[in-house]
Structures are given as structure tokens and as C-alpha cells.
Structure 1
């Protein structure tokens, strides 16, 4: 039989266990966790959802929650104190979804410029965690093929324009009747104003009559396509001076029999194909006798037929001539490509520009290049040709029967920034010229990013100044710089200081200040990310607190009797701690009675009062100091030992000082 006292003890044990369980649960629930996907993919022009989930270990109190999304260093969307705000085109979940732990970012319509690193920062109470995700974008290519007839026995170029794709990695090919052709060329991908790319595929060959009806196909493989994209074009051929329909009509006309001599007229009319016609006649004739000699009437008919054939050939030649003539001044068909320049030319890295004339033109056509300085606001048209180019610029060319391609290769300098180049095709004797002027050359230099360092001067002295330098970049605009760390607070970034170098490039110093009291864990790492531009590689640097030399262990003095009270009223013991960084440390006072091995932790009571003390910054801000006290209200126990125990993140074991020593 269980007594009342036994039941009371059992209930006490159960209640204690329940309280312990709730305490553990509350402690575990206080750990904020944030989860993001490493990367996401979306199509240009569509929406995107960047996943971000968080867990606080229990129900979410919205008044303790705040969420911020960053795109590189730009603030995109945020939720705080019941207010949900975002930049145009971006949005956060509703409060109901936030309470379920969903902090995902929605983008209504994405463009190429939206590709990059996104950061989801979630705060709950005094805690803060973050997760990073990278948005990759895709844009499917389109195919455009100019459909113009070819001319038999004349070199022809088939062009396939592939446009609007992103990223720029693409696999393209020309096919004939399903078989991949060899010998085609492709231009380098050129960036469009919207950030997508385009290129041109060229296949040059000399068609024959037998090629008519062949199907040429332009095929494209790209990451944005589920399957390859292909456009087919049947080959249409014009028959030189006498197109095939005209020749057939002429042959029929010459084969017509004269009314007065139906039996033999057709055997002599076509001189060029007389053998074939005679054979056909022999097959249809019942006699094997040779044909009679031509009469006067037959000869007249032959002469008239020949004259008619010559007239028809001349008419056909004139028709082809006017069909092919497309430009005033040139007596033949041709086209000149536009002059493309990379969006940005890397300083010191060789660049090659290309301009070509395709079609049928005189072999005496020459090509030259000119550099137009950036200070020249207007470009004069049809100025005298001056082939002089800056030192180091070189021109090469490739010439075929129907294509003249000229290449300009140079290594850009800062003096070329804003300049343009002109490509001129000209025929000196006929004083005929065609020219193309490039867009402005934009020169840039990728910054050389230094390692993170801590500046020697701390101002204000309660904040640690982390700094990184960007050397030798151009133009003057500082690339986006993103600072971060895995601590509980954000730092404050100073405006970048920019200096111009002797060679015209620039150097910038970015300083990020973190409160000294926030640096409480040695495993903390400060990070900086420099974005060189859309589609360009990032420069990242990282610095741990241990590596930078900031962490310093405390120097603990001996315990002293700092104040003596009236006899019989007690004493005050004091211990000074100095030189440590960061400032956070643990102080515990203990008492070991005479003859005992175990020390007892002292807490405020009728016997004593413990004053741990407050850490204050040293004058230079690079270390902390504090004083801890133990006040004994009554005279100390005879033979008792009092111990001051100090713990710090730089110490593997605590430092202990005792009194009396």
C-alpha cells in the first residue's frame, strides 16, 4: 500500500521530469534554422520562385520575425513588424505562409540582369541566420534564314541567324538532307541590349543544277531547349544566263515542225541537240533511210531559230542581271555585314573585329580600317581613306570568289575607351565605297581583389574595421561589393574610397565595421564578394577571427583585498582582468573550506554578493578590461580559500586565482 508521502514524492518526480522536458524543448526551439536551395533555374520572361524555409522549433510569433532578401547588395523584399514590402516585381509570402516557415521570394518576370546571387536573411528575436541561392536564367534561341535563290555555278553563302539565347553556350550546325556539313563557319556570340546573345552560321559552296531541291537545315542545341531546334530550307537555283524554264521553252519552240515539211523538219531544227532528236525520230520512223538534205526553207527556219535562241538568252541574261543588282553603284549583288564590338573589351586582352562583304563583286575591291578617336563627336561621311592605324593594330583578310572578310586585331588601352572604328570596302578606279562604323569601344579592367585585413586605426573604437582593396579597375564605377558573416548582427559599410592610379586605372578601399561585442565566437568568418558584372566570375575572400590575430587571451591579476570594512563587518575581494578580445568572458567565484577537496560556487546570499564586473574597451579599442568583486558580508571562514575562475573563448582551460594565495 502506497502512503500519502510516497504519492507526494512520485508526483514531485513526475512534475520535475515534465518541467525538465519543457525546459529542453524550449531550449531546442530557440535555435533558428534557415534552409535554401543552392540554385534555381528560370526562363527569361517568366516568373521565378527562390525557396527559403526557416524553423524556430515551435509556433512563429510574427512580432518577433523579420525577413530580408538581397540581390547581391541590393535590398529586394523585406518583412518586419507586420509590414510586407518589396521592390516592383518581387513579393514575399503572406503572413499565414510566413507563420508556416515559408520565406520564399517570388519574382514576377525575370530578365538576364536578374541572374546572380540572392541572400535570404531571417531574424527571430535576438537570432539571425541566412542562406544563399543562385538564380540561373535560360532563354531559348530562335532561327532566321534569309531565303534567296542561288545561281548555278556561282559561289553561294547560306546564312543562319541564331538569336535571343542565354547563356551563350550553344551548339549549331548546317545539315544537308539530314547529314551534318563540314566547312561551315560561325561568328562569335554577340550580346544584345537585353543581355541575350546571337550569332550567324555561314556555309559557302558552289551549287549545280543537280543540287536543286536539296534541303539545307540549320540545327541548334541549347540548354533552354528540351530538344534540338531545326529549320529546313529547300534550295532554289536560278540557271545562269538561261534559266531552265527558258531553255525548256526554247527547246520546245525549236522542235516545232514546219507545216509544209512535218516529216523531216524536226530532224534538222535543233543544232545543239540534233543527235538526240534524230535518234528519237529514228525510233518513231518506219524507214531506215537517211534524212534528205536541208532545203532553203529548212535553212531559213534554222537561222530564225538560232536568232530567236540568242534573243531569248540575252533577255534571260538581262533579267538575271537586274535581279542580282541590289545596290546603286555596284553592278553586281553583294551585302556588307554590320561591324560588331564586344560589349566590354578587357584592358590588355587582345580583341578581333570582323567585317565581310559577301556576294559577287570585283576582284579589285580592297578593304581598310580607320580608328575614330573618342573626342571626335561627329563622324564625317566619305572622308578620304587614311589607312594609318595605332601601333600594334594589325589587319588580316581572307578572300574567296564571293566573300571578302577583313579582321582587325588590337589590344585595347584606356585611350581606346569611347573610340570607334570604321571598316571601308572600296574600288579605287570606280570611286565606289561601302563602309561600316562600329559602336563605341568600352574598355574595362577587372579589379584585383586583395585579401581581407583589419585596419590598425579603429574609429569608432568599439567597431572592428575590416577592409578590402580593389586594385587597377576601370572605369571609375566601383563594382558591387557584398560583405557578410555568419554572426548575429550586420556590420556597417563605409562609402568606398576611390583613388586614381598613375596609369589611369583606379583603386578603391571598402571598409566594413562590425561591433566588437558581436565577435563572440572564434569560428566566425567574415566574407566579401565582388561582382564584376552580369555573367562575369565573382571574386570572393574570407577571413576567420583566428587567422586575423584579433583574439587575445585575458591577463588575470592576483586577488587583492581592495576594501576593509569595520572590524567584524566583512571584507571585499577584487580581481582585475585585462587585455582580452573579444570582451565576453565568464567569471565565477568559488569557496573551498579547510580540509575539503571540492570548491562550492558562490552566489548572492546573506553571506556574500558576487559582482562579475562589466567589460570596457581599452583606449585603442583592441582589447577589453574589467574588474570583478566578491563582497563577504561577514568575516570569512577561518582557513577557507576563495577562488576567482575566468573563462574566455581563447582559453582551453579556465584561469584560476585564489585568496589567500
Structure 2
């Protein structure tokens, strides 16, 4: 008894108190509440230790007398108690779990340690700006919505082109039913022309960190509207009105007509001004009945983002005065007739002398240079325009070319084959049993453009003829809208040829300058990893991809100034991909100690000509990739419940996600299904100031259904912020059974020289893998088709079929036989695939000797057979590829190498792959030679 008291006193002197105060985490993540006791000795009797976790006077977890109680939603690892670690893990943190947690550790009924931990949720807001349409020089109000944040409050501020236009201000938040908050910040201002294409930003300050959303405004320019009428010849004919709408933006506008409150129809025509605004004139003809009604005529202009349309109304009395036409007497009529005859005679005399000169003058055209857009970005529409002025522009036609290739309008054709001059691959088909067909490609015309057969988007549009400023001349604008693609338009030029309708002579031709296609880079987050040679140095890597042109700059910064990237890994030589885009990466190094302190902030700025502003990426802190062990099973007995375990070690930060998946058996080996129940995560547990470990477990029952569900295998998927893709570990039951493999490959040949090789495997688990090859001295891989079904004996049967044609071993054919071979008739008997020795195998081209010798058949009969064969091909969508093998000639003349066909059979129950080989007999070589 005295010895026990002495040990207890020694333990009290060797134990010191450790306490942490505040823990914050994101929603639906795991968080560890620390409770650690530092022990300086090895003497600790766990039977005398008691641990209690309490929140709001409610017990959360308790340990004592070798018994453990813990509420749902929490976990801890009792094996770490011997090391003085009594931490509690909160699973899937939520608002309801917030509060102050108290940890009490007692030894032999005496309190050794007591600490309080404040646990709370920190959820940043998500930002949105719903309304982005404003009216030029009219008061506009923008809303910035911050949703789903906790805790309150938040502060809003607004920026324009990176400059603060409204300093931070706090608004009143609103509580949502799910316990989180939402708030709305407003910005009131008067938009100007300088605000077009300018980046505005909404910044929200929440719990010491900023969230920012950038956007561009859509500005509407209100038009000037004027309503006029075309002077009629009399009061009893229709009256034509027109409404001039000028200086508006954007192009989308609608004009409505009404008379005395009744809406009238309208047909739109829109033109573009030199200042990039638009104008249009809308006509409407009033019938004599409508003219007689008089009253007010109104023209209303509606635009996107405008609540109240611009309107103008005029009384018909002012536009159309109803005065009676004067009545001429007989003498006045005679004078008018004499004057008209004189004028006609004078006109005819003048016309005869000036006809030729006038005709040449009317035919002359003034064609402007080709206008390209200032920025041509991949995936965004660009427009190329040419302006044509002259007296006869209404009879002018234009033809567009990319380099020397004609361009056709593809904006309305969609994928219609009748309107696309593109590459198609029609198929010639032979039908086989089990729904298979043999196919061979047939050549067609080339693509529309010479670069990889791609079809660009082109929209041709002609505006006019319009009245020009010059007297007597008109203006015609021909425009080509296209979507830039690097593979098609890089280094290309546009060409426009102007001619008169019905004439082959080209009047004028204009060629554009070569233009540069821009594609902004996609920049990754900064990835941190240890160097292989020195673990105390951290590599920071950022990658830029899918950009064009290839000039790009990376600049690294820290709080102390600019950093230098690693010279050997800098972005001096970006690499292009198959599509013509470039990718590059840049690296920078820092000591581990600087990053682990958390005081060094590192960021990289990426500059490219396609970017209006550089892209910036910041570090997330020190990251360590996890090490994932193989899955182990706690018991091997099939009649008892078992537990699968997967250990994850050496990772940072501690946030990690585990998902258990089960794989189905048979044909559906590749399908995954998430396990709903039984998965648990023990940890994460801190084993180093910057390292954690955890154990993922899955409990499995011993029922027949559980065995059936996991027959295909179980996968543990680990996801972490340091991983580009998840790490997976697979586990399968041990009941692997090898299939029954036949000793030989079955083969049957058609009269056209197409051989069908087949192999039938029975039973086995899991599914077997097959690889077909063929050749002479060396093998080449072949394309095959596998079908799986259940046989009469209840076993699974796998049938693999491979079609092969020897291109150099076919005998010479007559013209009719060659035409018949093109049709590729089908094999009638199903047994021809699985058993070539079965009696009754017959081919469609195999007839009685007398029919075979009748080579003088009527050509119409052959044509009908071809049509029936083509119809049969269309009814069978499945297709089996015909593999072609070219065998080299031997040393002797007319000597060919022997054809060999081999199939490799791989299965987990087989220690080595099994091979089945078919070799061509010598008789066939001599006959084919």
C-alpha cells in the first residue's frame, strides 16, 4: 500500500497541464478537440484513469474502468490514452455542435488536467450579382448577394478597374432556415461610356478574409427617335410612315407601332454607325381606312435592361393633311402635255451622248480595305467587314475565302450532311452470327478546310444597299462572322472577291493581314511538395495550359519582395499540344521552416497578352501527400463478420475524405456503387506538428447477400487537397476460379478470304482478359469482340471472335467475283463461329456447282442481290472490325511467310498467361502462291 501511494505521488509530480482554447472548422468536415497530458515517466495504470468530455452540462464521451461511452457524431482513439492523448474528434461539423467543450482527466479520483475548448463553425459567403444591365447616364443600382456565411457580420465594398469606388460598409444580415446568414450590398451610380468593358468588383470581408466577384456591365444607350411620313400622291392610297431610331446600343432592339392604342406589326432593319452604335428605320403603311381614322400614331422602342421604353407620337393631321387635290382645266392639261413632250425629247438627245460614259461611271466601285477586329480570341465570335460604294451596288455579289479555300455559311446548317462538304466514312458491311457484322471503310471527298478536317463556324451577312453621303451612290457592307480556331485560322488570311451578279470577272479583291489568335491561359493552384534530395526544401509549382501565343511570364512574390524561379524549370520554352495550344509551368523553392511558420505568404502572377489583367494564385500553406497502405481483413472465415482496414499516414492538412465502393461481378466489373453503411474513419490523429494519420474501416456481415455484393471486390478511395486524383486501394475475395480453356482455336474461312477465329471459355471468376495477335515472325495486336452469356449447364460462357483478312494471299478473282466480294455476304450457321467442324456450315455465296459455274448470270439479278445485301447491312447496327495482315515475302520468289494467330489469356487464378496459337498449313501457302 505504501508503494502504491509513492507511485501515485511520483506521477503527480511528472504530469503537467496542457490546454488549448479555440477551434474553428468548415461545415461537414471533421475537427479534433485537443486534450493532451504530457507524461515524463512510463508509470501509468489505465485502470485508474477516468476521462470525461462535457458540453453545456451534457456528457459527450466518458472513459473509466476499461469501459467507453461516446455519443453519435463523435469519435476518439482509446489506444492513444497511454500516450496522454485524450483528444475528441467531431464528425461532420454542423452549427448544432458549436459550443464550449470541457475535458477532465482524473487519475485515482484526483483531477490531473482540465481544459475548455471553444468549438465553432466558419463558413465563407458565396457571391452573386444578379442584375448587370444598366442604362447610360441613368441612375442604376447594383446588388451583390452574399449567401450561406457564418458567423455574422460581413462588410461590402465595390471596385472599378481595381480602384475602390465605395469603401467597406456593414449591412444588416438575414438568418436563413438552415441556420446560416445572407446579406445584400447595394451600389448606386450613373453609368458613363467609359464604363463599357470595365471590370467591376464586389468584395466582401468576412472573419478577416476577403471574397471577391468580378463582372462587366452591359450598358444600354437610349436612342433618339423621330417619326415621319412619306408624302402620298393622293388621299385614297396607303400612307407609309417611318420611324428613325439612332445612336442606340446594343444591337438588339424592338420597335412597336400603335394607332389610337392598337398595336401594329413591324419588320426590323438595323445598321451600325461609325461610333459602334446602331441605327434603324422602321416603316409602316397605313391603309386608306386607317388614314381616315386620323388620331395619334406612336412609335415605341424597347431595349434590354430598360423598364420604360422610349416613345414618340405625332398627330396624323400634321403628317398627312387631307387637302383636296387641285383640278386642272383643259388648257392647263394641254400645256402640261406639251411641256412633258419637250422634256422627253431633250432627255433622249442628251442620253444618247452620255450613255457610255454614264454606264462606265455607274459600274465603278470603291472597295474599302478589310477590317479585322482588334482582338481575336479562341471561342469568341469575330467579324471581318468590307465596305463597297457605287451606283450599282444592288447588283454586286461577294465571295469569301480562307487562304484559297471558299467559305460557305454554316451558321444555319447545323449538322446537316447535305450542306456540309466534310469527311464521312461510309461502311461496307458483312453480317455475322450473334448480331455481329464485318465492316471496311470506304473513301469519300476531303474536308471543307485542309487542317485536320475541321469545319469552322461562318456566318455571311450583307447589309444594304444604303444611301451613301456621296450624291447618287449607295453603300453595301459585306461581313463575315467566324469563331477562331487555332488549327484552322493560325497564320491564315481572309480574302474577299467582288463581282457583278451573273458575271465571272472579278472587279476588286481584298486580302486581310495575318492576325494573331489569342487564348487566355488556364492557371492551376500552387502545388507544394518536398524535393527528392532535400526534404527541408519545398517545391512550389504553378501550371498554365491552353494558351496562345506561346509568350507567357510568371512572377513570384512573397511578403519580403520578388522571388526568383528555378532556372531549369522556368517557363522559357512552352510546349504545344496536338491542337496548337501551349502549356508551361514555373517552380520556386522555399525552406520548409518558412512555410510551416504560416507567416510567409507566397503568390505568383501570370502575365499573358490574352489577359486584360494578370492571374494571381496564392499558397494554401504546407501540404503533405498521404501514404495509403493496402487493405487488410481482420478475419479469413467466410462464416463470421469481418472488418476491412486501410491505414493512411503522413498527410497534412488533416482534412481528408474516405469513400468505400463495391465492384460488381461479371460483365459489370467496371461499375462502382458506394457502400451506404459500415464505413468509419478513426482520426485524423496528430503524430507530428505537421503530420497526421488516420485509419479507415469497413464492417462486413457474413450473409449471403454481402458475399454476393463484394464478389467483384471493394475499393477504398482516399481524397486529399494535395492529390490531383484520388488514391485507391482494392480488395477482392479469395474465391478466384480459373476458366475452362479449349485446347485449340476454332477457325472458318469464307470464299472471299476472311477468316473468323473464335474461342469459347466456360466458368471462371473474375472475368478473364483476352488479347488477339497475328503475323509471321512477329505479332501485331488485333481488334476482337467478346460476348458473355449463361450456358445450358448454368456456367458463364465467354465467346471471343476475331475477323482476319490476308491482303497478299487472296487468289485472283474475276470482275463479277470481285463485285460479289465487295458485298461481303453473311455466314448463315451460328455454329460456324464456335465449331468450324460442325456439319451443315454454309455461306450465302456457297451454291451448287452448277450455279457457281454459271458466270453468265443476268446483271439485273446481281444488282438486286447487291441491293438486298445493302438493306441487310442497314438493319444490323453491330459491327466487327476486319483486321488486315500483310505478310512479308520469303527469300525465294513467290514465297510467303506462314500466318500465325495467337490469343493471350490472362486471369488472376493463372500464375502465367495461357497461349493458344493457330498456324497456317503449308498446303494453303503453296495454293495461295
Query: Structure 2 length normalisation: TM-score?
Result: 0.31
Query: Structure 1 length normalisation: TM-score?
Result: 0.40
Greater Rg, structure 1 or structure 2? 1
Q: Which has the higher contact order (CA 8 A, sep 6+)?
A: 1
